[in-house]
Structure 1
Amino acid sequence: MPDEDPGAETAAEEERPSLDWVDILATVIMAVAALFTAWSAFQSDQWSDNMAFSLNAAGAARTESSRAFTRAGQLSQIDVASYFGWVDALQRDLAAGDIDVSEGYVPDAETVSGFLYGQFRPEFAVAMDAWLATRPFANPDAPETPFAMPEYEVAETAEAERLQQLAEDKVAEAQAADRNDDKYVLSTIIFAAIFLFAGLSTKMRSRAGQLGMLGVAVVFLFVGAVYLVTVPIQV
């Protein structure tokens, strides 16, 4: 058998220990990066689902808001038609001498105007009572119609506005969720770089090159970990 070269064995022994601990450290770094990557992917999916849910809720709220606005418009038209019908009947009752408004109007169910007054919607009746309390037939400073009174409200309008605001809030939530989703996607890119540099560290022949690649991988790992701490978590 040929004699073994003692110098070659010594060189190999000096080189292997550094490669061994570099391999181990690189593996540990990549394992941690893999855990962070899995967490980022999970959170990205969670925020993506949150965005989809918020957008669906916004769409539903917009639809309901549109219906409420339509209903409010219809009720307002009913109030306007009822009011002018009452005004016309009131003028006829005045012309016939059936009522006297010099001291204010008091509905009389025996008259046409009084009958129509009793047919007003409850919401509109409140505004009419408040308007008549200002004595509009004798007081020049009184509002021209009950529709100018602060008491005149259509509940459907308030509901439509509430739903519209809800839709806007849900859109804002969806936008925030989308931004958080993007942040977690960015974090996966950071951790992908860790795999690159940690993997390269095991292929470098010189110790300086190995430590350099490991150092870059550690920096990316630290930056990625700090970055994850700043990103909101979706449970």
Structure 2
Amino acid sequence: MSESGTRHPERWKRASEIVGVFLLSVVAVLTAWCGFQASKWGGEMSIAFSQASSARIQAANAEGEARSARTFDLTIYSAYVQAVGSGDDELAEYIRDRFTPEFDVAFEAWVADGMVEAGPFGREEYVPAGTVEAEELTARADAKFAEALENNQRGDNYSLLTVLFALVLFLTAMSQRDIAPWVGRVLLGLALVITGVGAVIMATFPIRI
């Protein structure tokens, strides 16, 4: 075999070793970064789930407050109706002064419209204390729950990339084995392609520091 023919395999082997070491180093860093990001997004997921749970509890408390307010208004209104029905105007006026502000608004609107509805409780003006807070907290809980699911998916995406980069490590290691040169080239080339694809995909993922 000629001297040039002998040097060619040696140059290829040396070049493949250099590329392999460089690739292993880069992939090791990328894998560590993916693990770090997966951990961070997992933490964000836990925080969002906790916030969603807290908002659910607060919303339940607010809904309980709204039910209590509605029950109180219904009780006072029933007494008012009985007083009016019995012709006791003084008692009716006394009870009327005890209406809650939320119910009083609905009652005034109901009377102004000719008392068409069966009662003021069906009016849109009637918003018992705690109703708005319950709606806002429920919406916050839903938003935080959706955010938690999104953060979980982001963490999973980074975890999947670690599997992809693990494949690169395997292919690179195999390319350095005592195998046919063309097989080594194919394995190393495939490892480079996968690394490039993985890096491009990772660049599209959000980052949490």
TM-score by length of 1: 0.82
How far apart in 1 are the matches of 2:207 and 2:182? Answer: 39
Q: SS state of the match for residue 144, structure 1? A: coil
Identity rate, percent: 30
Q: Report matched runs for 1:5-154 at 5 Å.
A: 13=7, 15-92=9-86, 94=87, 111-136=90-115, 142-154=116-128
The equivalent of 1:210 in structure 2 is 184
The equivalent of 2:153 in structure 1 is 179
Shifted more, 156-165 versus 78-87: the winner is 156-165
- What RMSD in Å do the two structures reach over aligned CA positions? 2.0
Amino acid in the other structure paired with 2:39: D
Q: Structure 1: where are the runs of 5+ without partners?
A: 1-6, 100-110, 137-141
Deviation at 1:134, TM superposition (A): 2.5
The equivalent of 1:106 in structure 2 is none
Q: SS state of the match for residue 115, structure 1? A: helix
Give the total of aligned pairs.
209
Q: Please tell me whether the aligned partners of residues 27 and 168 of structure 2 are also in contact (alpha carbons under 8 angstroms).
A: yes
Question: Is 1:196 the equivalent of 2:190?
Answer: no
How far apart in 1 are the matches of 2:161 and 2:202? Answer: 7
Per-residue CA deviations over 1:66-106 (Å, capped at 9, x if unaligned) read 111111101000000000011111122x2x6xx5xxxxxxx
Of Structure 1 and Structure 2, the greater helix share is in 2
- The runs of at least 4 consecutive aligned structure 1 residues that moved more than 6 Å come to 9-12
How far apart in 1 are the matches of 2:74 and 2:8? Answer: 98
The equivalent of 2:195 in structure 1 is 221
Q: SS state of the match for residue 192, structure 2? A: helix
Q: Please tell me whether the aligned partners of residues 69 and 129 of structure 2 are also in contact (alpha carbons under 8 angstroms).
A: no
Amino acid in the other structure paired with 1:76: R
Question: Is 1:234 the equivalent of 2:178?
Answer: no
How far apart in 2 are the matches of 1:11 and 1:152? Answer: 93
Amino acid in the other structure paired with 2:40: Q
Shifted more, 125-134 versus 172-181: the winner is 125-134
Question: Is 1:168 the equivalent of 2:162?
Answer: no
Amino acid in the other structure paired with 1:129: E
Per-residue CA deviations over 1:160-202 (Å, capped at 9, x if unaligned) read 1211121111111111111111111110011011111111111
Q: Please tell me whether the aligned partners of residues 65 and 129 of structure 2 are also in contact (alpha carbons under 8 angstroms).
A: no
